[in-house]
Structure 1
Amino acid sequence: MICLKKGLRFIFDKRYRFVILANKGVYDNMQDEALLNRKYEAIFGKRLNLDNPQTFNEKLQWLKLYDRNPEYTIMVDKYKVRDYIKEKIGEEYLIPLIGVWDNPDDIDFDALPDKFVLKCNHNSGLGMCICKDKSKLNIENVKSELKKGLAQDYYLTGREWPYKNVPRKIIAEKYMTDTSDSSDFTDYKFFCFNGYVDCVMVCLERSSGDTKFYFFDSNWNLKRLNTRGKNAPDGFTISKPSQMDKMFEIAAKLSKGLPFVRIDLYQSNDHIYFGEITFFPDSGFDANLLPETDKYFGNLIHLEDVK
């Protein structure tokens, strides 16, 4: 039934059809600005205002097109960013690196520990392998998925130009959990505006297939900013991580001088680890943000400071 509904929508909804075809690469040859205009209108049902952008999602599209700091390519590279983080805040915040390769066939799986994470350095998700028990691993399938990941031109999916020239590699990192008896790793995603950290989005139950997203400010007050969190009951909260105040400080330091960036951090056994730097969450097409949040975050991005 779900497939039938999607099929009918594909036939009769031209905006939905455009998004699906764009994600499949049909419009890869379209110019950046033209594709962003069409995709924005297809998702939000209104024209993208690049002449005078006001909302968060609009300004992220503007930044894609006009904020071309070459250092961003290093910052989105999951391998090279390690040197950047080492210089900015220290090597102790890096998840231990096990290995790096250009080709999946070069990986010696026998030498890897029983638990590890494999991922491409230039994209988001495609090809990733989170291994919790190497004895159950289908190595040929893992290699096949990694090859698909390496072949992906991630820049084309949302025209996020920093990814365009990342030299593609595979990295292996230590498998991490929140605590010694935890089976999951909680994401803490900090929304940062030139050194000011407005809030953190906590991502819970990622392995369940039904991830929960909740926003909190630096005083650990719930902020009802998205469609998934607005209906949380009165007084709702979750336990504040022991290192949360320090994580806000780190996010502020890493985001200074950048009009907007999302800094992703983790906490494991009271130790903070760096996750990644994201310039365009949901590629600037986040329809889960409440309209008032879209405007609120948009007001915090000052495009006049972009050089």
Structure 2
Amino acid sequence: MLKILPDKVYLKLQYKYTTGKKLNLKEPKTYGEKLQWLKLHDRKSYYTTLVDKYEVREYIKNKIGEKYLVPILGHWDNAENIDFEKLPQKFVLKCNHDSKSVIVCHDKDSLNIKDTINHFKKKLKNNAFYYGREWPYKNIKPLVIAEEMLVDETGNDLKDYKVMCFNGEPKLIQIHKERFNENEEYTIDYYDINWNKTNITANTTCSKEEMDKPEFLEEMLYLSKKLSQDLPQARIDWYYANNQLYFGEITFFDASGYDVFDPSEWNYRLGSWIDLSIIKKENYLSQSINENRG
């Protein structure tokens, strides 16, 4: 039933339900409020390509170079067609159109193939648009992608480095640890671009230690800036393995804009980094052109 609700009505209800706060779309101030506003008013068609984990590869190749792409082992639009025999002992399976379908296979011999196929049958039927009304996902052609498994220098699962950019400028870096390790606590830390650990939490646990400044920090910030040019805000994700950076994905709506930051001042600080006036001006000009054509 909720699918038939207009986007604006749905977002107001969902925002209240997830954050406990009333959504202010007339004068949005916080990061979460502005992300909901952008869902409704910043709808450039090429955003769909940028969030499609398969189609974006060509964009990344042309923008920063093919060497930053995680090698692909195959892709399928039907889960029954996944060619497990040709896959190596270790690999990663994920969908191109969502964020919670990943299966990390450390040993193919112990993988329950039937369960894996059923898992992706369900995921391929899901449209990620409807939960948060993140419209760029609505018209993606769903695929299952197999990627080479990357590991860090210790042989463990990779950390996720997620660079939060605003108007083409990196501002914060999220570090996700043990995301797919059920035996360890999943933590998220926030660092500024000078590698100072902040006190931000967002419905998650922080790690107790401080990481050493990574040697690839400047390169990661440079590439993130390049990929986020002309975007009001975006999160650019990276992995580091084999002594090099690998691109993860581009996300326009971190946590769909429903995370509430603590301390609360960060909700407003991040919100202040998003300049909606640019989008409003673009929309006004577009509307004026269409009216003149009419």
TM-score of the two chains, using structure 2 as the length reference = 0.90
Paired residues for 1:70-89 under 5 Å? 70-89=45-64
Aligned length: 278
Paired residues for 1:95-244 under 5 Å? 95-126=70-101, 128-179=102-153, 181-209=154-182, 210-226=185-201, 237-244=210-217
Once the two structures are TM-superposed, the CA of residue 287 in structure 1 deviates from its matched residue by 2.2
The partner residue of 1:275 within 248, 270, 273 is 248
Q: 1:114 to 1:153 in 2, by over 3 A?
A: same
Tell me how far apart the structure 1 counterparts of residues 93 and 146 of structure 2 sit (CA, whole Å).
5
What residue number does 1:53 align with? 28
Once the two structures are TM-superposed, the CA of residue 207 in structure 1 deviates from its matched residue by 3.0
Runs of 4+ in 1 over 4 A off after TM superposition: 227-233
CA deviation profile, 1:115-172 (whole Å, cap 9, x unmatched): 111111111113x321110011111111100101100011001100000000111111
Describe the SS at the equivalent of 2:150. coil
Q: Which moved more, 1:136-145 or 1:239-248?
A: 239-248
What residue number does 2:65 align with? 90
Once the two structures are TM-superposed, the CA of residue 227 in structure 1 deviates from its matched residue by 5.0
What residue number does 1:298 align with? 271
Contact 1:216 1:223 in 2 (8 A): yes
Tell me how far apart the structure 2 counterparts of residues 277 and 229 of structure 1 sit (CA, whole Å).
21
Contact 1:204 1:213 in 2 (8 A): yes
Contact 2:161 2:238 in 1 (8 A): yes
CA deviation profile, 1:15-42 (whole Å, cap 9, x unmatched): xxxxxxxxxxx52221111010011122
What residue number does 2:40 align with? 65
Tell me how far apart the structure 2 counterparts of residues 290 and 170 of structure 1 sit (CA, whole Å).
38
The one-letter amino acid paired with 2:61 is: K
Once the two structures are TM-superposed, the CA of residue 251 in structure 1 deviates from its matched residue by 0.7
The root-mean-square deviation of aligned C-alpha atoms, in Å, is: 1.7
Tell me how far apart the structure 2 counterparts of residues 205 and 232 of structure 1 sit (CA, whole Å).
11
Q: Identity over the aligned pairs, expressed in percent? A: 43
Contact 1:226 1:293 in 2 (8 A): no
The reply on whether 1:35 has 2:10 as its aligned counterpart is yes
Once the two structures are TM-superposed, the CA of residue 205 in structure 1 deviates from its matched residue by 2.1
Q: 1:111 to 1:39 in 2, by over 3 A?
A: same
Once the two structures are TM-superposed, the CA of residue 177 in structure 1 deviates from its matched residue by 1.0
Q: 1:79 to 1:192 in 2, by over 3 A?
A: same
Tell me how far apart the structure 1 counterparts of residues 212 and 236 of structure 2 sit (CA, whole Å).
20
Tell me how far apart the structure 2 counterparts of residues 101 and 182 of structure 1 sit (CA, whole Å).
28
The one-letter amino acid paired with 1:272 is: L
CA deviation profile, 1:245-279 (whole Å, cap 9, x unmatched): 11011111111110010000111132000000010
Once the two structures are TM-superposed, the CA of residue 289 in structure 1 deviates from its matched residue by 4.4
Tell me how far apart the structure 2 counterparts of residues 222 and 64 of structure 1 sit (CA, whole Å).
30
Tell me how far apart the structure 2 counterparts of residues 96 and 160 of structure 1 sit (CA, whole Å).
27
Tell me how far apart the structure 1 counterparts of residues 51 and 276 of structure 2 sit (CA, whole Å).
21
What residue number does 1:12 align with? none
Tell me how far apart the structure 2 counterparts of residues 281 and 114 of structure 1 sit (CA, whole Å).
32
Q: Which moved more, 1:97-106 or 1:37-46?
A: 37-46
The one-letter amino acid paired with 1:30 is: L
Tell me how far apart the structure 1 counterparts of residues 93 and 205 of structure 2 sit (CA, whole Å).
35
TM-score of the two chains, using structure 1 as the length reference = 0.86
Contact 1:224 1:230 in 2 (8 A): no
The one-letter amino acid paired with 2:146 is: A
Once the two structures are TM-superposed, the CA of residue 232 in structure 1 deviates from its matched residue by 7.2
Contact 1:100 1:169 in 2 (8 A): yes
Contact 1:43 1:287 in 2 (8 A): no
Describe the SS at the equivalent of 1:222. coil
